[in-house]
Amino acid sequence: MTNTASTFGIHEALKTLGIQDKNPGTSTGSQFFASGTVISSYSPVDGALIGKVTGTSAADYDQVMQAAGKAFLEWRQKPAPLRGEVVRQFGNKLRELKEPLGKLVSYEMGKSYQEGLGEVQEMIDICDFAVGLSRQLHGLTMHSERPGHRMYEQYHPLGIVGIISAFNFPVAVWAWNTALAWICGDVCIWKPSEKTPLCGIACQNIIAGVLKDNDLPEGISCLINGDYTVGEMMTQDQRIPLVSATGSIRMGKIVAQAVAARLGKSLLELGGNNAIIVTPDADIKMTIIGAVFGAVGTAGQRCTSTRRLIVHDSIYDQVKEALVAAYQQLRIGNPLDENNHVGPLIDADAVANYSNALKKVVAEGGTILVDGGVLKGEGYESGCYVKPAIAEAKNDFEIVQHETFAPVLYLLKYSGDLKNAIAMQNGVVQGLSSAIMTNNLREAEQFLSANGSDCGIANVNIGTSGAEIGGAFGGEKETGGGRESGSDAWKIYMRRQTNTINYTTDLPLAQGIKFDL
Ligand code: NAD
């Protein structure tokens, strides 16, 4: 065991979560299959091997599909509040296991322990939300134009939901989908990121226990593991009516085409390029806290991370100075040590992307304001720790137009009216999260109006990251258009049926059409 693992109780956490050195990566509940390619999971925190997971072969996948298909026939007949009761128990189990699961998230993914706990809290919150929803799932009633007729709509379970998730939220994104899908009467098959497979094993162990305690069939929650080729098994499978995919825009474009080719539905949660607009009426202290947390939290590896700060020229120098001073305070190191603000990137590829972005912004004419670099030496042995950097740049630089999944913040200047800042904020292909810092009501409302931000999320006087589960989460344009979590996001997990009932002895046709025999 490494020093990190023993100091921070990782071994105990793994044991509590039922994680072994070698884990079968395909499961329908209490049944396991293990005939695919082995994935080794290394911690970005200290570079240690945490455990191995056997990936899913085509034969394993077939077993999973059969179990899921059978389970759906039973699960869809359970009353929705009863399905909610199972989700309630799952939420309670997560409450019990919050600390070990939060620790595993931190150790396998690299985010801070606090953020790991926060991620598990999000799972608990969505379970609570789903339990209440299980007594609703309401459709509308309408008045029929025909006498003695009644019309209403109802929502039925959809079937098997395929979930493909990214490394950066290795447990919460699954729960956002499953808690809703389960109360809707669907069964789920999850392929976690190949970079965080042990988080997937831990979650499946937790839900499998709950399903077993309730004597429910194999297949309500299934796990498969592997790289994109395993994801493709689901995107190309006609038996899966909905594929919910979270990840890069590149991945989303491939998944969307594969699912659309068989006329399935996809729910896409893809990359962002999020900006905060800072107007002359902004509270600078709040702005700095929001911008720094948004840019360096999770080492810039949130889909909602702040990538661009669009500052009015009248306060540009003041903001710049305060930002540079704040970056000097940042402590970079082991994310399990709560004294540190910034943990590692996920792997060597992510480090290379970060370094390339800094080179590119300079090559395009930008100026480095807070210098980056890869950290070496004691505590940084994994090679994944980098310094958060700030570059002064222009919105139309190619690199600024791209999402670099790392702590690189671009400082951009706007002049004149707010509409110029909004045009810059909207002038990218992504449309996930956006924010404005202002104490001016007119500016805030302009930003939120139809002429304002074109993103799925638009905030006033808070940063771009840190959404609550009560609202629908997702983004527009190349972010994919999907919505998950709160509000009426549940509707995508169900099929809608319009029912018209005639309680007379006549058969009048709609639109007054006559057809007499
Ligand atoms: P990624 O696109 O590399 O991988 C995501 C998942 O897709 C993985 O499980 C991967 O195996 C799978 N995959 C890749 N190609 C596939 C294919 N052709 N068919 C089926 N599955 C395929 O993304 P990542 O590096 O893990 O995550 C970072 C990205 O995710 C960032 O762009 C980030 O913004 C985005 N993200 C978006 C949200 C959101 O809600 N909008 C949330 C989290 C992460």
Q: Identify which of 108, 164, 266 to mutate to test ligand 1's pocket (most ligand atoms within 8 A of the CB).
A: 164
Q: Ligand 1 centroid vs 165 CA: distance in angstroms?
A: 6
- Are 125 and 40 found together in one domain? yes
Domain membership of residue 224 as a residue range: 3-270+480-496
Residues near 383 by Cβ (< 8 Å), separated by ≥ 6?
Answer: 47, 348, 351, 374, 376
- Are 38 and 181 found together in one domain? yes
- For the question of residue 269 being annotated catalytic, the response is yes
- Are 314 and 228 found together in one domain? no
* Position 326 in a domain: yes
- Are 489 and 437 found together in one domain? no
Whether the predicted pLDDT of 312 surpasses 80: yes
Q: Is beta strand 433-437 parallel, antiparallel or unpaired with respect to 274-278?
A: parallel
- Are 148 and 292 found together in one domain? no
pLDDT of residue 344: 98
State the DSSP H helix or E strand holding residue 100, giving kind and residue range, or none if neither: helix 98-109
Residue nearest to atom 9 of ligand 1 (CA): 193
For residue range 221-249, list pLDDT tens digits in order. Answer: 999 999 999 999 999 999 999 999 999 99
* Position 506 in a domain: no
Residue 251, ligand 1, Cβ within 6 A: yes
* Position 517 in a domain: no
Whether the predicted pLDDT of 1 surpasses 70: no
What value does the mean pLDDT take over residues 487-492? 98
pLDDT of residue 3: 80
DSSP 457-497: EEEESS-S----TTSEE--EETT-S--EESTTGGGGGEEEE
Whether the predicted pLDDT of 384 surpasses 70: yes
Residue 448, ligand 1, Cβ within 6 A: no
- How many domains is the chain partitioned into structurally? 2
For residue range 420-469, list pLDDT tens digits in order. Answer: 999 999 999 999 999 999 999 999 999 999 999 999 999 999 999 988 99
* Position 512 in a domain: no
Helix (H), strand (E) counts: the chain = 16, 24
What value does the mean pLDDT take over residues 63-92? 98
pLDDT of residue 2: 74
Q: Identify which of 56, 168, 251, 255 to mutate to test ligand 1's pocket (most ligand atoms within 8 A of the CB).
A: 251
The CATH number given to whatever domain includes residue 489 is 3.40.605.10
pLDDT of residue 246: 98
Q: Ligand 1 centroid vs 263 CA: distance in angstroms?
A: 21
User: Out of 122, 194, 218, 269, which one is annotated catalytic?
Assistant: 269
The CATH number given to whatever domain includes residue 385 is 3.40.309.10
Residue 269, ligand 1, Cβ within 6 A: yes
Q: Ligand 1 centroid vs 267 CA: distance in angstroms?
A: 13
For residue range 14-61, list pLDDT tens digits in order. Answer: 999 999 999 999 999 999 999 999 999 999 999 999 999 999 999 999
- Are 231 and 339 found together in one domain? no
* Position 424 in a domain: yes
CA distances for 73 relative to 11, 187, 193, 328, 492, angstroms: 40, 10, 29, 58, 19
Measured in degrees and rounded to the nearest 5, phi and psi for residue 499 equal -115, 130
pLDDT band at 517 (very low <50, low <70, confident <90, very high): confident
pLDDT band at 157 (very low <50, low <70, confident <90, very high): very high
- Are 218 and 70 found together in one domain? yes
Which ligand 1 atom is nearest residue 164's CA?
9
* Position 507 in a domain: no
Which ligand 1 atom is nearest residue 227's CA?
11
pLDDT band at 496 (very low <50, low <70, confident <90, very high): very high
* Position 511 in a domain: no
What are the residue ranges of helices labelled H in 269-369?
A: 284-296, 316-328, 348-363
pLDDT band at 167 (very low <50, low <70, confident <90, very high): very high
Mean pLDDT of the chain: 97
- Are 204 and 288 found together in one domain? no
- Are 206 and 323 found together in one domain? no
Residue nearest to atom 42 of ligand 1 (CA): 303
Residue 193, ligand 1, Cβ within 6 A: yes
Token pair in block for residue 221: 């929650």
Distance from C-alpha of 82 to C-alpha of 323, rounded to nearest angstrom: 51
Residue 228, ligand 1, Cβ within 6 A: yes
- Are 321 and 465 found together in one domain? yes
- Are 244 and 361 found together in one domain? no
- Are 231 and 352 found together in one domain? no
Residue 481, ligand 1, Cβ within 6 A: no
Q: Identify which of 168, 223, 469 to mutate to test ligand 1's pocket (most ligand atoms within 8 A of the CB).
A: 168
Residue 403, ligand 1, Cβ within 6 A: yes
What value does the mean pLDDT take over residues 115-128? 98
Residue nearest to atom 40 of ligand 1 (CA): 269
Residue 397, ligand 1, Cβ within 6 A: no
Residue 443, ligand 1, Cβ within 6 A: no
pLDDT of residue 4: 86
* Position 216 in a domain: yes
Residue nearest to atom 13 of ligand 1 (CA): 228
- What burial class does residue 151 get, using C-beta atoms within 10 Å of its C-beta: 0-12 exposed, 13-18 middle, 19+ buried? middle
